[in-house]
A = this chain, B = another copy of it.
Amino acid sequence: MAIATKPASGFRDFLPEDMRRRDYVFGIVEKVFKKYGFDKIDTPSVERLSTLLGKYGDEGDQLLFRILNRGDKLSKALDNEPGEGNLSETGLRYDLTVPLARVFAKYRSDLPPIFKRYQIAPVWRADRPQRGRYREFYQCDVDIVGSDSRLVEVEVVSALTEILNTLKFENFRVHVNHRELLKVMIESAGISSAQESTTLVALDKLDKIGIDGVKKELINRGLNDQQIDKLIGLSENLPDDNREKVNTLIERTSNIDRSKTVGEELLLILDLAENTVAGETLFFDPFLARGLSYYTGAIFEIRSDDFPGSLGGGGRYDELIGMFMKESVPACGFSLGLERIILLLEERGADFGEDAGPDVLVSVFSDELAGESLKVATEIRELGLKVDVYPGSGKFKKQFKYANTRKIKKVVVLAPDEVENGTISIKDMATTDQVTFSRAAYLDELKKLLA
């Protein structure tokens, strides 16, 4: 019986057409990150569980793919004390931020004092597979570690804006908020610090369940009407302009001391961004919360009216790296939703650049003439063209069909006539015209494909 050929549940195969699209997008992302002075790193797919556990919250820990211990260790665990905990000491990478923290802590002395890095790599989550949600997917992270300058936030948002601009996304905004300002708002609404995190969780659902949903959620989470009205009220009837909006919120929360300091951090980011492409896309959103618990300062999320959800998010996390070191190190970064971006580009029938397939197919009339075909292919390859040699021999009709399947535009026809007369024929697959050239002239004709 033949073996099942479907990929494992939640995993995907990428055929040549998929790879061309992915490489096109990856290429643009890399180019822009390099243009913004970021260096590339890579980290192992497999990390110790002690590195991964306790960084992503309980739900994250549950979603780790754990790798079975091998040999002695495993049989000991099975014989003596069966239980999940003894079976596995490593797992698949869950994101690219925790590995960055580990890498920065380990190689700090080999790295620039302020480290600007990007990484494009798959991560794995043992989630229930569903449409558009996979167990293996690429993340694309960009971070600056070691600086608490606000300029860092702006550089990161500028790079992402330039990527989306280059990919011809329109009408997107980079929502920005500040974790501390959110806490100031909560405190200002008379919500106790014990209720702070439950309030954040409810606010984080705003773009999914709407303002009425959040109100209900807050009631269910034990807040009273007065608190809720006060909190929601803070965001109502705000001016359109980002700066005026922040200033209004600073006024409305002036009962809290640090309101002004935190607000001014946001104003500084907005001001600095005016000098870059991020100036056009930043949008102050006072209820933006971001799920992950490690954020400590500004937070970001890319949204658009053209599609639901977000294209990525990030923010400042000044405490995470300290978990791997003896001191805390400021950091700010962003994770771009690459898979989402590719899907949206495919849905809108985007132009993924030049087809990367072969330029020319050299036909093979018979096994006897195969050497002649290889010789011609070698000549054409020396020009720098991408050349396929028909991987077999026989009827030209079949070979022309093969060329069409591979979207090859020119076929070099080498039949006994051509070999005898010292000529080469070139068939244009679009017009089906076939023209015969001398062996001295055919390369000039094909050279035109280089232009």
Output the least CB separation between A162 and chain B (Å): 8
Structural contact, A44 and B8, CB atoms closer than 8 A: yes
Output the least CB separation between A33 and chain B (Å): 10
Q: Which of A42-61 contact B (CB under 8 A)?
A: 42-48, 50-51
Residues of B close to A258: CB separation below 8 A: none
In the complex, the count of this chain's copies comes to 2
- Say if the beta carbon of A41 comes within 8 Å of chain B: yes
Q: Which of A63-82 contact B (CB under 8 A)?
A: 65-68, 70, 74-75, 78, 82
State the majority secondary structure of interface residues on A.
Answer: mixed
Given A124-B46, A136-B46, A149 and B37 contact (CB-CB distance below 8 Å): no
- Say if the beta carbon of A393 comes within 8 Å of chain B: yes
- Say if the beta carbon of A323 comes within 8 Å of chain B: yes
Closest residue to A79 on the B side, CB-wise? B82
Output the least CB separation between A339 and chain B (Å): 13
Residues of B close to A68: CB separation below 8 A: 65-68, 84, 87-88
Structural contact, A406 and B112, CB atoms closer than 8 A: yes
Structural contact, A271 and B371, CB atoms closer than 8 A: yes
A371 to B385, CA, bound (A): 47
Output the least CB separation between A446 and chain B (Å): 14
- Say if the beta carbon of A216 comes within 8 Å of chain B: no
Output the least CB separation between A451 and chain B (Å): 17
Residues of B close to A41: CB separation below 8 A: 13-16, 19
- Say if the beta carbon of A171 comes within 8 Å of chain B: no
- Say if the beta carbon of A191 comes within 8 Å of chain B: no
- Say if the beta carbon of A155 comes within 8 Å of chain B: yes
- Extra inter-chain contacts (4) besides given A44-B136, A114-B390, CB under 8 Å: A2-B105, A5-B105, A8-B90, A275-B374
Sample (13) of A-B pairs whose CB atoms are under 8 Å apart: A4-B51, A8-B47, A15-B41, A19-B40, A20-B40, A36-B387, A37-B386, A39-B406, A45-B122, A113-B405, A149-B364, A151-B374, A151-B391
